[in-house]
Amino acid sequence: MPNPLRQSQRTAGPSCQGPRVILLLCVFALVLIGLVMVYSASVVKALENGMAGSDFFTDQITYAALGLVCALVLWKVIPYRVWVGPAVWLVWGVAVVLILAVWFVGTDNYGAKRWLYIGSFGLQPSELCKIAFLLVAVRLIIDYRSGTVELRATLVRALLLIVLPVGIMYRTQSDLGTTAICFVGIVAVMWMGGVSKRAILALCGVAVVAGLYAIFGTGYRTDRLVFLDPWNDGQDGYGTGYNIIQSYYALAEGGLFGVGLGNSHEKFQYLFASESDFIFAVIGEELGLVGALVVIGLFFAVLYAGLAIAERVGDDIGAMVAGGCTVMLVFQAFLNIACVIGVFPTTGKPLPFISSGGTSMIASFILVGLILGVSAAPPEPSVYEQRRADLRLVRQEPVEVRSRSSRPPRQGGPSRSSGRPSRASDTRSSQRSRR
């Protein structure tokens, strides 16, 4: 069977400093926008629940600080190559344990069991598991390309280590959004890792068939197809289509420049999850089309910066990690926006760095930390540079300049270093003796 991976040779490209600065500035801007919008969108909900108006805001700051610490550790302390070593199996094991924990003791919210509560602390494990499966995909491709594992064994490992746990996560949590995010991130890893287009297209074909079955084969997913005509939800727009209609109202009310920061009407308990899953609708209402386009532009800039880092890094491991993390992060953002504007069924996935939620914020910072860790690594030498370094040149020793005292004695006479007279002295002595 032909090898489905093409051997790629990477050379150390330009410095990653420029893309790294762009990435940092964009993430900072998105977090700042998120903090402002979470405060604006959550005040009414907090007061309605008997909480202080700033509770969601202070929680978001805490989560952002924790996420920042995680990103700094991944950037400055832990080399990214660690995550394709034995540590990746530890990460995978933790992810599987979390998936099983949600399956058995998880909490059901709005028809989906995705939350794991430890006391008052809530965790959405799928946000973290997607990163683990991406790193496992990198490890599998590296093992195959190095010749450590054959093709058949690689396929078996992919089924057991990625497809099976993701399938369990989808089945038990009804989480089509995370499943799609995992798939897109892994496809990006395969592309960066040199997998042939034929293999990628075949995988995409299988995924499309599975996705259609997931949408049309289950009643829960079929109900979410109401986005195609939310006013025809069987209850004149007050049933399953209600929230998407309110999202439309918010975006339409915002117009070009918005109604002004803090002046949203839909956040007064008309729009469900206005501070989390549907916060982009509040952005469109308060900041208008201009503000919404700024957010979209920032995510496009993140995409450019991350892919530029993946292109400039000197090894395939870094390219797969940076490229996969970037595509996974930005795809989730566009998936959320697509749900809010009504071009994709509602998936319940938050908008990275902006939506209220601790697990999403920390997971987004982890992805950024992995990308920054790749950008900070010294570039690996190219194949040709390594060959030149491995050459062993035979060095010719310089000819030693010998002193006169070290010359061998001439044949037929003593050397000057013996202290005896030279040939000329001997001649003069023989002449004297004849006389």
Is the pLDDT confidence value at 417 over 50?
no
* For the chain, domain boundaries: 17-378
CB 133 within 8 A of CB 162: yes
Is the pLDDT confidence value at 399 over 80?
no
Residue 336: both structure tokens together: 């959320």
Instruction: Tell me the β-bridge partners of 107.
Output: 115
Which range, 81-90, 214-223, 377-386, 404-413, is most confident?
Answer: 81-90
Q: In what order do the strands lie in the sheet with 121-123?
A: 107-109, 112-118, 121-123
CA dihedral 161, 164, 167, 168 (to 10 degrees): -100
300: Cβ contacts below 8 Å, ≥ 6 apart = 330
Please report which confidence band the pLDDT of residue 10 belongs to, taking 50, 70 and 90 as the band edges. Answer: low
Please report which confidence band the pLDDT of residue 391 belongs to, taking 50, 70 and 90 as the band edges. Answer: low
Residue 96: both structure tokens together: 């599987």
Please report which confidence band the pLDDT of residue 383 belongs to, taking 50, 70 and 90 as the band edges. Answer: low
Separation between Cα atoms, residue 401 and residue 406, nearest integer Å: 10
170: Cβ contacts below 8 Å, ≥ 6 apart = 176, 178, 179, 214
What pTM value is reported for the model? 0.83
Listed in sequence order, the DSSP H helices in 224-357 are 242-254, 279-312, 316-340
Lowest mean pLDDT among 182-186, 294-298, 377-381: 377-381
Residue linked to tokens 């964009």: 26
Measured between alpha carbons, how far is residue 19 from residues 23, 71, 106 in Å? 6, 16, 40
The whole-number pLDDT of residue 120 equals 74
Q: What is the mean pLDDT of residues 27-35?
A: 98
Give the chain's mean pLDDT.
85
pLDDT single digits (tens) 306-331: 999 999 998 899 999 999 999 999 99
pLDDT single digits (tens) 113-172: 788 887 777 889 999 999 999 999 999 999 999 889 999 999 999 999 999 999 999 888
Residue 337: both structure tokens together: 């926006």
Computed on alpha carbons and rounded to an integer, the radius of gyration of the chain in Å comes to: 34
